[in-house]
Each structure stands twice: as structure tokens, then as C-alpha cells.
Amino acid sequence: MSFTGKGWLLGAVLLPNCMIKTANIAGAGLGGLTAAIALARRGVRVQIYEQSPVLDAVGAGIQLSPNAVKVLRALEIEPSLRPFAFEPENAVIRNGGTGAKYVSLPLKGAAEQKYGAPYLHIHRADLHRVLVEHAEDLGVSIALNQRMTGYNEAGFHGVATADISIAADGVKSPHATQMNENQPARFTGQVAWRGVIDAAQLPPNTIPPDATVWTGSGQHIVTYYLRAGSLVNFVAVEERTDWQDASWTTAGDVTELRRVFSGWHPRIETLLRAVSDVNIWALYDKPELTRWSDGPVVLLGDSCHPTLPFLAQGAAMAMEDAFVLSDCLAQASDPQAAFRSYEAARKPRTTLLQQKARANADLFHRGGPFGGQLSLAKLNVARMLPAGLAARPFDGIYAYDVTQIKT
Ligand SMILES: Cc1cc2nc3c(=O)[nH]c(=O)nc-3n(C[C@H](O)[C@H](O)[C@H](O)COP(=O)(O)OP(=O)(O)OC[C@H]3O[C@@H](n4cnc5c(N)ncnc54)[C@H](O)[C@@H]3O)c2cc1C
């Protein structure tokens, strides 16, 4: 990795130290690892407990919007990611049947200029590996096969205590449920099929070099490239009420995927013909939680505000949380004051983005009020707008720089 001890010292951004000395984190996901790095860089000794027996990330892509890249830049992680990333030309919304464009917003080069950081696509395994390497280089310890089951006034059950305990343990967090008894995660009635295909298996130019949403009726598909264009990632979302599997992710049947999405644009049918493996994820949501902290325990990322993937902002919000929490712990006089400032700084934005993501399901699925006519009208209006106006809904999300906000 390009992260050498010397280069690190020379390039380091000086962040004020935290008033706490030790932190436990449940979950080595994208949020937990970013929090570990942000805290370790502020002088905190961090121990992560991860339930999984291996440090591994799901084999699919992730879109990192400029607001997320700004966090990774401030933590000096961005240069290690760039060799594995793909910078899309545009963000595009198309009709999934005809291929006609509703919206096309320039991203490559333009995002850095307009929002202060690039828009990147990256394989989750690459992002996860880079975060683990940075965390371990900073002395973070990661214990595997360690499922945290709840907490008391000293922190997580069954482990050595620390000054604070961060529950970055995802949408089904037992800690969030203990803290907010009547607000469990609930199935949304939507599932996402996800897979990655070797781009060389497809005829040239099958998939445009954009971040593309292909809209449908009760369904949509997202396509984009990874690893310098050598892989194509897809997420195919379908409304479905019959999810029976107790787990929330399971291997999918490729024949069924092709059947469910048959009759789509020929480019999509060509893409789906090339798929050999696919997973299905049940999509879960939570209402705005009443509590984000209790004693020494604080929630972060999907555990407190799962964000449906229709805005590509869930991981971005977890990373923003991580930066703000570490900042609040450096500014406040005690952890509880820091947790209060953290929640006050984060909740309005994460709640708003959760709502925007939910609303995008109607837009992309041409559903919602008046039998979906309102969604269709919005898409058709967007088609006629100049790019600057059509980009308005994204400006506040991408221009936001959490590393510059005073907490
Ligand atoms: C189909 C799909 C596409 C998406 N695309 C994007 C995108 O393009 N851009 C974007 O920003 N976001 C995207 N997201 C959202 C993003 O994946 C999540 O918001 C993000 O992963 C949340 O990070 P997290 O660290 O909070 O939780 P998670 O990633 O869920 O990590 C939680 C970790 O905690 C561990 N864990 C769970 N319970 C325990 C326990 N009790 N004890 C110890 N460890 C535990 C888990 O094993 C896991 O490692 C997408 C989501 C989906 C489903």
C-alpha cells in the first residue's frame, strides 16, 4: 500500500487529541473502521470486535460521493484508494425499457470542481481492505468471531471496558434495539440483487461509463464500473412482499434474476445474460431513533440511521458520523457532552437523507401518488431542465464537507 510511515508523518493533518484514552467498537464494517481510524489519529487506543470469523466485505461495488471522499481525504486514506477506483463520466437516470435519458449530470472532473472532491466507484473488498490496513497501521486491534450482544453501564457485555463503546454493528444492531426498544429494523418490501461481471465478457460499450439508474415499474437497476473499468457492478431492485429468509442476504438464482428483469433494454438483458453469481439482500429500514446514546455507548452508521441504497449515501453517512464523533470527542469535556453534540450535528442530515432515499424508490419505480403519474411527471420535467437545475437535489448532499463543520 502507498501508506508508508514516513509519508504518513510528512502528510499528516494534525487533528486535536480526544479527551478519552480508549474506545471499543462493535463492527468492522465501513463505519466502524472509519471511526477507528479517526479516533486512533486523535490519540485513542481502539479495540474493534467483529462478529464475522473473517475480515471480508461483500463482493460488490460501492459509490463514494464527494462528501464521503472528503472524509477519506481528511483521514489521508484517499490516495490508497485511487488505484482501485473508477471515476464515472456522468450520473444518469434512464428509462429502463427504451434507454432514453431523463437526467445526465457531469461527474468526471466536474465533481471535484463543483463539490470539492471526486465521485468514485470502488469494489467494497478494496475499500474494506484499505481501511483495515490504515486502521492496523495506526495500532487499532481487530478481534474476529466476537459478537457483542448488549451493554450495561460499563459498556459492551463480556469484554474489557473502555472509556466509550461505539455500536457500529449495522442495521440489526442489538445495541440500537436495547436502547430503542420499540424501534426495530423492518423489512421494506424491497430486495436488491447484486453482482459483479468481468467487463471483458460483454460486447464493447454495453454499459455506459456512467453511474446509471435504469428506471422501471416497481423495479430499477443501477450499473457502474469498478477497478479502472475492468468490472461492471449492478444492483437490481425489486418490490417483493414475500421475503421468508431469516437472514438478510442469501445466494440468488441467476435464472430467476433474468426472468424477473426480462423485457428490459437490450443492454440490460445482455448484462444479465453474462451474470454467473448473484446475491439477494433484503432491504431494511428504521424510523428516526429516539436515542443514539446511553451511558458510555453510542450508535454510528446503519445501527442508528440505515439509509436505503437509492441515494448511494448509507456508507457516506457512516463515514461522516465517524469524523464528527471523533471531532466531538476532541472538543467536549466529557463523553456524554460529546455524544449530545454528535447527535445534534448528525441527526438532521441523516434523517433528511433517509427520507430522500425512501422517496427515490417511488421515483425510480414510477410509483407513489396518482398511480405513479407524479413520479413519471417529475422525471419528464427533469428531462427538460438544464443540468445545473437538475443537479439541485444533489448539491446539498455532495457539497457538504463534514471535516470543516464546527461541532
Ligand atoms: C444493495 C446496496 C447498495 C448500497 N450502495 C451504497 C453506495 O453505493 N454508497 C453508499 O454510501 N452506501 C451504499 N449502501 C449502504 C451501505 O452499504 C451501508 O450504509 C454501510 O455499509 C453501513 O456501514 P456500517 O458500518 O454502519 O454497517 P455495516 O456495513 O452493516 O457493518 C456492520 C459490521 O458489524 C458487524 N456486526 C454486526 N452485528 C455485530 C455484533 N453484534 N457484534 C459485533 N459485530 C457485529 C457486521 O458483521 C459488519 O461487519 C448500499 C447498501 C445496499 C444494501
CATH of the domain at 17: 3.50.50.60
Closest residue by Cα to atom 49, ligand 1, is: 29
Instruction: Give the three-state DSSP class for 42.
Output: coil
Q: How many domains does the chain have?
A: 1
- Looking up cell 468514485 gives 120
**CA-to-CA dists, residue 276 to 139, 201, 253, 258, 345, angstroms:** 39, 11, 9, 11, 44
Within 10 Å of residue 350's Cβ, how many Cβ atoms?
24
What's the 29 CA to ligand 1 centre distance in angstroms? Answer: 6
- Taking only the tens place, the pLDDT of each residue in 383-395 is 777 777 778 888 9
The answer to whether position 44 is within a domain reads yes
> And the C-alpha cell for 131?
481501511
The answer to whether position 254 is within a domain reads no
Q: Inform me whether the pLDDT recorded for 369 exceeds 80.
A: no
Q: Inform me whether the pLDDT recorded for 16 exceeds 90.
A: no
pLDDT at 19: 84
C-beta of residue 48 within 8 angstroms of C-beta of residue 140: yes
% the chain with pLDDT above 90: 79
Range of the domain at 77: 5-185+286-404
Mean of pLDDT values over 101-111 = 94
Ligand 1 and 318: CB distance under 6 A: yes
Closest residue by Cα to atom 25, ligand 1, is: 31
What is the pLDDT of the chain when averaged over all its residues?
91
Closest residue by Cα to atom 39, ligand 1, is: 169
Q: Is residue 284 annotated as part of the catalytic site, yes or no? A: no
pLDDT at 245: 61
Alpha carbons 185 and 166: distance in angstroms, whole number: 19
Concatenate the DSSP letters of all residues of 329-379 into one string: HHHSSSHHHHHHHHHHHHHHHHHHHHHHHHHHHHHHTT-STGGGHHHHHHH
Closest residue by Cα to atom 15, ligand 1, is: 314
Mean of pLDDT values over 359-376 = 80
Q: Which of 224, 284, 342, 398 is catalytic?
A: 224
The answer to whether position 190 is within a domain reads no
Position in ligand 1 atom list of the atom nearest CA 237: 1
Of 69-73, 220-224, 227-231, 281-285, where does mean pLDDT reach its minimum?
281-285
pTM of the predicted protein model: 0.94
Alpha carbons 100 and 225: distance in angstroms, whole number: 20
pLDDT bracket for residue 251 (50, 70, 90): confident
Which run of H or E residues covers position 392? Answer: helix 392-398
Alpha carbons 269 and 274: distance in angstroms, whole number: 9
C-beta of residue 142 within 8 angstroms of C-beta of residue 50: yes
Ligand 1 and 195: CB distance under 6 A: no
The answer to whether position 246 is within a domain reads no
> And the C-alpha cell for 14?
494534525
Closest residue by Cα to atom 27, ligand 1, is: 170
pLDDT at 376: 77
Q: Inform me whether the pLDDT recorded for 92 exceeds 50.
A: yes
Position in ligand 1 atom list of the atom nearest CA 283: 53
Alpha carbons 255 and 276: distance in angstroms, whole number: 10
Q: Inform me whether the pLDDT recorded for 3 exceeds 60.
A: no
C-beta of residue 282 within 8 angstroms of C-beta of residue 249: yes
Pick the closest to residue 220 from 154, 309, 88, 157 (CA basis).
309
Mean of pLDDT values over 108-132 = 97
Mutate to test the pocket of ligand 1, among 119, 169, 280, 325 (most ligand atoms within 8 A of CB): 169
Report which residue type is found at 45. Answer: R
% the chain with pLDDT above 70: 95
- Looking up cell 464521503 gives 68
The answer to whether position 239 is within a domain reads no
Pick the closest to residue 179 from 304, 350, 294 (CA basis).
294
> Which backbone phi and psi does 92 adopt, to 5 degrees?
-130, 140
Pick the closest to residue 4 from 79, 71, 67 (CA basis).
79
The answer to whether position 216 is within a domain reads no
The answer to whether position 110 is within a domain reads yes
Alpha carbons 304 and 323: distance in angstroms, whole number: 16
C-beta of residue 206 within 8 angstroms of C-beta of residue 270: yes
Alpha carbons 381 and 193: distance in angstroms, whole number: 29
Ligand 1 and 302: CB distance under 6 A: yes
Closest residue by Cα to atom 24, ligand 1, is: 31
Instruction: Give the three-state DSSP class for 227.
Output: helix
Of 166-170, 256-260, 325-329, 377-381, where does mean pLDDT reach its minimum?
377-381
Mutate to test the pocket of ligand 1, among 284, 302, 303, 394 (most ligand atoms within 8 A of CB): 302
- Taking only the tens place, the pLDDT of each residue in 49-61 is 999 999 877 779 9
Mutate to test the pocket of ligand 1, among 25, 30, 226 (most ligand atoms within 8 A of CB): 30
Of 104-113, 196-205, 276-285, 373-382, where does mean pLDDT reach its minimum?
373-382
Residue 197 β-bridge partners: 232
> Which backbone phi and psi does 397 adopt, to 5 degrees?
-80, -50
pLDDT at 6: 34
Could you tell me how many residues make up the chain?
407
Q: Inform me whether the pLDDT recorded for 371 exceeds 70.
A: yes
Burial of 6 by CB count in 10 Å (0-12 exposed, 13-18 middle, 19+ buried)? exposed
User: E-assigned strands of 199-314?
Assistant: 211-215, 219-226, 231-239, 249-251, 279-285, 293-294, 297-299
What's the 28 CA to ligand 1 centre distance in angstroms? Answer: 9
pLDDT bracket for residue 248 (50, 70, 90): low
> And the C-alpha cell for 238?
425489486
The answer to whether position 219 is within a domain reads no
Highest mean pLDDT among 151-160, 249-258, 274-283: 151-160
> And the C-alpha cell for 389?
437545475
User: E-assigned strands of 199-278?
Assistant: 211-215, 219-226, 231-239, 249-251
Rg over alpha carbons for the chain, rounded to the nearest Å, is 21
